[in-house]
Structure 1
Amino acid sequence: MSSNPPVWFITAASSGFGKYIALEALSRGHKVIASARSASRIADLKGKGADVVTLDVTSPLAEIEKVAKEANDKYGYINHLVNAAGYILVGAVEETSPKEDFDTFATNVFGMLNVCKAFLPYLRATPGHRTIANFGSIGSWQGGAGYALYNGTKWACSGISEGMRAELAPLGIAVTVIEPGYFRTGFLNAGARVVSQRRLREYDETAVGKVRATLEAVDNNQPGDVVKGCKVLVDVLTMTGVAEGKEVPIRVALGSDSPPVIREKMRATEELLKEWEGITTRTDHE
């Protein structure tokens, strides 16, 4: 099997990181099984040599398991699983509806979980190097007005990925969470960015209103180059190129703006602990 090319299964491959990870892997002679809610949206990847399948990550687990079996049957093994499906829900917590809240968790968190559940039997059966890459965000680290639901889903992805890493390391599967900053993808485009149907004018002059305006201004002006980012990611996941000689890390802080956000969170958290630990730790039994 060592002489056979790696096989990738990628969700949400119609755009953004999913698409460009697929293209980068194909450029290296790897096999790619790309998925999207509509196969027509990934016809270009088929033209580049990918196998394409239809998959809505919010489908029942039994349906995702059928897709996983068919994908594994194609080549007899799967090395890399990439969970790239996700979107941002913009709106204050008071504005977003229970259905909007549920739907964003259904895609960003439960979809990721069910895809992992469906593919893990095949990853476990595959010898050699194997990875699961889940997408978090710099939003995994720092909450913000106007996108708290997105923060919640990405914190969940980060925490679940850390737990999965501990579970699967003994089985030889490396799990990582990718936490990108702002990359110039279609993520913030009007067709991809979901805005709460309810909008309260009381929030217009607050940080929520500023975030709405900022996201529109940032759209298509993000600093990160998704092609360069995906080249790094494929290197990291295959432990080649710039990642040769390194193990797959527990998280990938991708983009020039990602490490500063994490460092600021670390600094603020350390200050918080120093200020309060003399009070909050006096809670043990005598």
Structure 2
Amino acid sequence: MIGQTSEPVWLVTGASKGIGRDVVRAALSSGARVVAASRDPSSLVEWATAQGYAERVLAVAMDVVDEVSVAAGIEAAVDRFGAIDVVVNNAGYLLYGGVEELSADEVRRSFGVNVFGLLNVTRAVLPVMRGRRSGRVINMSSISADVTSPGTGLYSATKAAVQMLSEALDDEARDLGIRSIAVCPGGVRTDFLDASSAQRASTVIDDYTSVHRVERALSAGNHRQGGDPQRVAEVIVELATMDDPPSRIYLGRDALAAIERTEHRVLADVERYRELSESITRTGE
């Protein structure tokens, strides 16, 4: 279980809206103190003051892609509250487009925020946690790490990277009292697919009708997703306080159904092509 205090300190990135803002609320409701990080924290300051949380919330300007900005935010958090017990790596966005449509710069920017930004924050906070031999690193992955579709391959690739990095860290840091958890929701009813959060690749190739079809389906289902963001935030609080949390958890009936279908297909292919797969193994050694 985390923390050596009755008021653990949480750091939440991407805290100004969506699941990030709900995690801030849920953590505060549980009695925690919260460092709410966002590129523009002005709305967080206003919200914390209006809700009567000014003494328990530190809103910091943080661009997760900028290591100097991240280090300054971590330093401010430790100066104010003395520790960081839980970090929720939530900052990220969807860049939609087919593989051929995506430019090298668009791919770099997506990985920059979704993966390298997460690594910047994690590397900066781990020394604080190691010093206390306690901590939780909660990484927002997605069912898209396991299941992709036309147009979402880049996002899936970033979330698969998050998932594997998170699980590796859980094995690496467990003996130090630090646990890492990859949270993989299905569809959640936030502004994630709105124009303010999601982006479209600048190149559009008409031939890729499957990409355009999925794009229309995502747009039609926006704000109709079955996942409750407040409940996601509450589950994250539960995970942070578990004695033995999972290294990966899927949230939502749609996520569970999708991973079950994927595992069934993969295992079926294992059996179908077993002889071919085994043929590369040396024998008689």
TM-score (norm 1): 0.93
Runs of 4 or more off by more than 3 Å in structure 1? 1-4
CA RMSD of aligned residues (A): 1.4
Could you say which residue in structure 1 is the equivalent of 2:83?
77
The aligned counterpart of 1:151 is 156
Matches within 5 A, 1:23-102: 23-47=25-49, 48=51, 49=53, 50-59=57-66, 61-102=67-108
Is the CA contact (8 Å cut-off) linking 1:78 and 1:126 kept in structure 2? Answer: no
Task: Check the 8 A contact 2:115/2:162 in 1, yes or no.
Answer: yes
Could you say which residue in structure 1 is the equivalent of 2:13? 11
Matched, 1:268 2:271: no
Shift of 1:16: 1.4
CA drift at 1:3? 4.2
Percent identity, please: 32
The answer to whether residue 166 in structure 2 is matched with residue 164 in structure 1 is no
CA drift at 1:117: 0.5
2:204 aligns with 199
3-state SS of 1:103 partner: helix
| TM-score using structure 2 length | 0.93
Q: How does 1:206-217 map to 2 (within 5 A)?
A: 206-217=209-220
Residue 126 of structure 1 and its aligned partner are, at CA, apart by 2.5
Q: CA deviation at 1:127?
A: 4.8
Q: 1:249 to 1:64 in 2, by over 3 A?
A: same
Aligned twin of 2:224: 221
Work out the CA distance in 1 between the residues paired with 2:69 and 2:35: 17
Alignment partner, residue 188 of structure 1: 193
Aligned residue for 1:134?
139
For residue 175 of structure 1, give the secondary structure of its aligned residue in structure 2: strand
Query: Partner residue of 2:247?
Result: 250
- Secondary structure at the aligned position of 2:253 is classed as coil
Give CA-to-partner distance per residue, 1:28-74, whole Å, 9 cap, x none.
22100101001113234422322100001111x23322221221121
The answer to whether the Cα contact below 8 Å between 1:185 and 1:226 also exists between their aligned partners in 2 is yes
**Cα distance in 1 between the residues matched to 2:149 and 2:219:** 16
CA contact (8 A) 1:23 1:45 kept: no
Contact 2:141–2:162, Cα closer than 8 Å, also in 1: yes
Q: Distance in 1 between matches of 2:133 and 2:101?
A: 48
Tell me the number of residue pairs that the alignment of Structure 1 and Structure 2 aligns: 276
- Counterpart Cα distance in 1 of 2:6 and 2:228: 30
- For 2:279, the equivalent position in structure 1 comes to 282
TM superposition shift of 1:284 = 2.4
Q: What do the CA deviations read for 1:227-247 (whole angstroms, capped 9, x no partner)?
A: 1221122112112xxxxxx52
